Amino acid sequence: MGSSSSNLNTIPNSQELMQETGFSAAHLLRLYERFEFLDKDNKGHLRPEDFEAVQELSTNPIGDIIIGSFFSPGQETVDFPSFVRILAHFRPAEKNRTRDGAQPEPANSSTGKLKFAFQLYDRDRDGKISREELLQVLRAMLEMQVTEEQLESMAERAIQEADLDEDDAISFDEFKKSLEKVNIDHKMSIHFMK
């Protein structure tokens, strides 16, 4: 379509992005529109406040954590390519994607998805989910329903379940191992990004 291709040109590095994330042009356009919509004063990047403006997100118990995952540590803004790269984690994985060894692991592989999930917990990005980090997520998700002691014992148990090297924290490998029976592809894919 003429209009869409002209639109596509307005997106910086659109070809590379499509190549990298596997999104189609239509998807990219739609995301770009959304990006511009979120970017209220056309700064060209999003700040946490822009995300918080999304009404539904404020009711999401782990909304803050997810917003946080869009920003690399120390950075206050996210530009469109990074935005798309994050969202690419949620594209359903293709079965017959040919992967040559040179290419890095695509974001929507199950490892990529897991990495994203792992980072939700691992706020300080030290490669380990500590008890405190787990507690934060738990606290957010269970809201007011249980007492602090219970949260702690739940965190305790969760860590013990996953913790193989007994360092009282969950590393990415342990995290991956503990979830190996879960079908990550199904649980971390969004339909319309297919």
Partner 1 sequence: MAACGRTRLWLLVSLVLVSPATGREAQFRSNHPDHPGEHEANLTGIPITSFKWEHVETPYLVALWVLVCFLCKLVIEANHHVTEYIPESALLICCGFILGGMIWGADKVQTFTLTPRVFFFYLLPQIILDAGYSMPNKLFFTNLGGILVYAIIGTCWNAASLGLSLWGCHKGGAMGKAYLALRCWRGETRSCSGPWSPSLCPSVPPSIYPSVPLFLRPFVPPFLRPSVSHVLCLRPAGDIEIGLLQYLLFGSLLAAVDPVAVLAVFEQVHVNEVLFIMVFGESLLNDGVTVVLFNVFDAFVTLGGAKINAAEIVKGIISFFVVAFGGSLLGFVFGLLISLLTRCTKKIQIIEPGFIFVLGYLAYLTAEMLSLSAILSITFCGICCQKYMNSNMDESSVQTVKYAIKVFANGSETMIFVFLGISAIDKTIWVWNTGFILLTLLFIMVYRIMGVFFLTWILNRTRLVPIEFIDQIIMSYGGLRGAVAYGLAVMLDETKIKEKNLMISTTLIVVYFTVIFQGVTLKPLVQWLKVKRASHSELTLIEKLQNRAFEHTLVAIEDISGQIGHNYMRDKWNKFEEKYMSWFLMKPSARKKQDRLFNAFHQLNLKDAMNYVDEGERRGSLEFIRNEGAFIDFKKKFDDEMSEAMPDIMADMSDDHGRAPPKRRDTVPSVSLELHEQSMRGNRAAEDFNSHHLLQQHLYKGRKQHRHRYSRSHFDINKDENEVQEIFQRTMKSRLESFKSGKMGVAPPKTITKHTKKEQQSKMLNGKNRSYLSGDEDFEFSEGDSASGYDASFPTRVAYRAGDGIENPAFMPDVDPSSTMHIPPWLADVELDSVAPSQRAQVRLPWTPGDLRRLSSLRTSVRSSDSFQLTDDRQGDRDELPPPPPPPPRRDGDSV
* Nearer Cβ to partner 1 (103/168): 168
Query: Cβ closer to partner 1: 76 or 100?
Result: 76
- CA separation (Å) from 126 to 51, 73, 129, 133, 183? 25, 11, 8, 11, 26
Determine which residue in the list 38, 68, 81, 123 makes contact with partner 1, applying CB under 8 A.
38
- Which of 19, 37, 75, 126 contacts partner 1 by CB under 8 A? 37
C-alpha 61/C-alpha 146 separation (Å) is 14
Residues with Cβ within 8 Å of residue 69, at least 6 apart in sequence: 86, 116, 119, 120
Distance separating alpha carbons of residues 116 and 137, to the nearest angstrom: 14
Q: Is the dihedral of CA 125, 118, 54, 34 positive or negative?
A: positive
For partner 1, the closer CB: 70 or 172: 70
Cα–Cα distance for residue pair 112/184, rounded to 1 Å: 10
Determine the size of the site formed for partner 1 (CB under 8 A).
53
Binding mask 113-152 for partner 1 (x = CB under 8 A): ----x--x----------------xx--xx--xxx-xx-x
Q: Are 27 and 87 in contact, with CB atoms under 8 Å apart?
A: no
Binds partner 1 (CB under 8 A): choice among 8, 18, 25, 154:
154
| Residues at the contact surface with partner 1, assessed by CB under 8 A | 30-31, 34, 37-38, 51, 54, 56-57, 59-63, 66-67, 70, 87, 90, 92, 117, 120, 137-138, 141-142, 145-147, 149-150, 152-154, 156-158, 160-162, 178-179, 181-182, 186-194
